[in-house]
Amino acid sequence: MNSKIPFFSLVMLIVAAIDSIRTLPTTAFFGSSLIFYYFLSSVLFLFPVALISAEFASRNSEEGGIFNWIRQAFGDRIGVLAVWLQWINTMVWYPTILLFISGTTTYLVNASFAGNKMYLLISSLATFWILTFLNLKGIQVSVKINSLCGLIGTLLPMGILIILGICWILSGNSCVVSFSWKDLIPSTTFLNSSNAIVTIMASFLGMELAGVHVRDIHNPQKNFPIAIGYSVLILLTTLVLGSLSIAVVVPQEDIRFVDGVMQTFTLFLSTFKLTFLVPLLAFLIILGSTGGSVNWLLSPAKGLMQAAEKGFLPVYFLHKNRNGVAYRILILQAIVVSIFCCAMHFVQSANTYYWFLMALSTGLYMLMYILLFLAALKLKRPDSGYKIPKGIRTGSCIAGLVACVMTIIVGFQPAPGTVVDNKITYSLIVITGFFLMLLPVPILWQYKRKRSQILVE
C-alpha cells in the first residue's frame, strides 16, 4: 500500500504546479499596472477556484479530480468534456514551459542560442521525454521530485529575484516604471492592455490539479483546504513581487518572454558585480521549472485514466505499469506535445507562438473552470468537511464565471510585442485551435455509446 503524501509535500505539489518564475516576464510586460491585474484576477478567479476546489475535495475523500467533481453534477459525458479540457490544455501549454526551460539552458551553453529554433526544439523534446520516463516511476517518486525542485528551484530563485529588486531600488538605481496612481490603474483602453488578464490567469491555473490524488492524501477533507490556503499566500507574494522586480529594471520593449527571467538576473548581477552567479541561477531555474512540470504530466493523465475506466477510451489505455501509472496515456501525451513543439519550427516569431499557445491553452482551461463553477452552483454544499459560507459560495462562482468568460474573449487579442499580420486572422487561428482541440470529445462520447450498446447485446 502506498504511503500518504505528507502535508508539506501537498503544499509544494500545489505551489510548484502553479508558481512559476516562467510567467514573470509576461506579467512584468504590463508595468506597475500588473498590481491591479493581480488583485482583480485574485478576487475574480484565484480565490473562487481555491474555495471551490477545497470544497469539492471535502465532498468525497475517495473520488477526486475534475472528472469526478463535474460528473457528480452533470453526468459522465460532461465529466469527460471537463477532464479532456484539462488534459488537452496541458498538451497545448507544455511547449511554453519547455521553451522557457530551453531558453534558460542557453545561459549554461551559449546565450545566443535563445533565438535558435532548432536548439529550442531539440532541447524541448529531450526535456519532455525525460520527464515522461521519470513519471513512469509513480506518484511517490513524482511528489519527491516536485517538492525538492519546487523548493530550491522555484521559491529560492524567486526569493533571490525579489531581494535583488529591493536592493536595486534601495541602491538608488533608476526604475523604468512609475508607481503613480495613473500608472497603477490601467487606462480606459481596457481591451488594449487586458492581455495581462490572460497572462495572470494562466499563472493561476492548476489549483485543482492535486485533487486527483485525494486518495493519496491523509485526511483530505481537512488537509486539502488548509494546503490550498497556504498555497494562495505563497503564490500571491512570489508572483506579484517577482513580476515587479523584472518590471523595474527591464524596459517594456526589451522584455523577452522565452528567456526574460535570465535576462533580468543577468542585468541585476552585472550591476552588483555578481555575474559568477548567473550559471548557478540558470541551473536552479531549470531544476525548478522541470520539477514543477512533473505534476502537470501525471495529474491530467490520471484524470484521463478515470474517464477511460468509465469506458470513454479504449481498454488499451487502461493498462498500468508496476508503479500504478497509466504509461500508455503518458506516451500518448509525449507524442502530442512533440507535435506542438515541432510546429514552432514553422512560425515566424517565438514570442508570437509562445503567446498563441498560452492564449489557446488558457482559453481551453477556462472552459473547464466554467464547468467547475456551474457544477458548484448546481450541487448543494457538502454535508461534512470544508464548507464555503452560502453567500460567499454563490458570489465566488459568479465572479469565477465572469473572469473565465472575460479571459476567453481577451485571448482572441494578440499581445503587445507579438508579430501578427492581421488581428482578424490571428483570432480565426485561435478559434480554429479551439475547434480542433475540442473535436475529439464527441468522438469519445460516440465511442462510449457504441461500446455500451455492444455490451448490452
3-state secondary structure of 217: strand
Question: Ramachandran region of residue 311, left (φ > 0), alpha (ψ -120 to 50) or beta?
Answer: left
Query: How far is residue 249 CA from its own chain's centroid?
Result: 26
Rounded Cα distance, 182 and 141, in Å = 49
3-state secondary structure of 5: strand
Rounded Cα distance, 271 and 279, in Å = 16
Residue 209 sits at the vertex; the CA angle it makes with 334 and 389, to the nearest 5 degrees, is 165
Give the tens place of pLDDT for each residue, 364-409: 999 999 999 999 999 887 777 778 887 889 999 999 999 899 888 8
Rounded Cα distance, 344 and 412, in Å = 20
Which pLDDT value is given to residue 411?
78
C-alpha cell at 263: 535576462
DSSP output for 307-343: HHHTTSS-GGGG---TTS--HHHHHHHHHHHHHHHHH
3-state SS record for 370-416:
HHHHHHHHHCCCCCCCCCCCHHHHHHHHHHHHHHHHHHHHHCCCCCC
3-state secondary structure of 209: helix
Rounded Cα distance, 38 and 45, in Å = 10
Q: Which residue is associated with the grid cell 516536485?
A: 146
Q: Which residue is associated with the grid cell 457544477?
A: 375
Per-residue pLDDT in tens (0 to 9) along the chain, 457 residues:
456 778 887 788 778 777 777 778 878 877 788 888 888 888 888 889 888 888 887 776 556 788 888 998 999 999 999 999 989 988 888 887 888 788 888 888 777 776 677 888 888 899 889 888 887 877 677 777 777 777 888 889 889 989 998 998 888 888 887 777 777 776 645 444 556 666 777 778 877 776 666 667 777 777 878 888 888 899 889 989 988 988 888 887 777 766 677 888 888 888 888 888 888 888 888 888 777 677 677 778 888 888 888 889 888 888 888 877 888 888 998 999 999 888 877 776 666 777 788 788 888 999 999 999 999 999 887 777 778 887 889 999 999 999 899 888 887 877 655 566 677 888 888 899 899 999 999 999 999 988 887 765 5
Amino acid at 299: S
| Alpha helices in 3-138, H assignment, sequence order | 7-18, 24-28, 34-41, 47-59, 66-74, 76-105, 117-135
Which pLDDT value is given to residue 370?
96
For the chain, report the end-to-end CA distance as a whole number of angstroms. 38
Residue 13 sits at the vertex; the CA angle it makes with 268 and 29, to the nearest 5 degrees, is 35
Rounded Cα distance, 136 and 140, in Å = 11
Give the tens place of pLDDT for each residue, 226-278: 888 888 899 889 989 988 988 888 887 777 766 677 888 888 888 888 888 88
Which pLDDT value is given to residue 441?
94
3-state secondary structure of 205: coil
In degrees and rounded to multiples of 5, residue 328 shows phi and psi of -70, -30
In degrees and rounded to multiples of 5, residue 5 shows phi and psi of -75, 125
b/e burial code for range 67-92 (CB count within 10 A of at least 16 → b): bbbbbbbbebbbbbbbbbbbbbbbbb
pTM: 0.81
Which pLDDT value is given to residue 368?
94
Rounded Cα distance, 225 and 45, in Å = 16
Which pLDDT value is given to residue 418?
59
Among 258, 24, 8, residue whose Cα is nearest residue 144: 8
Among 363, 399, 298, 307, residue whose Cα is nearest residue 71: 307
Amino acid at 170: L
Give the tens place of pLDDT for each residue, 28-62: 877 788 888 888 888 888 889 888 888 887 776 55
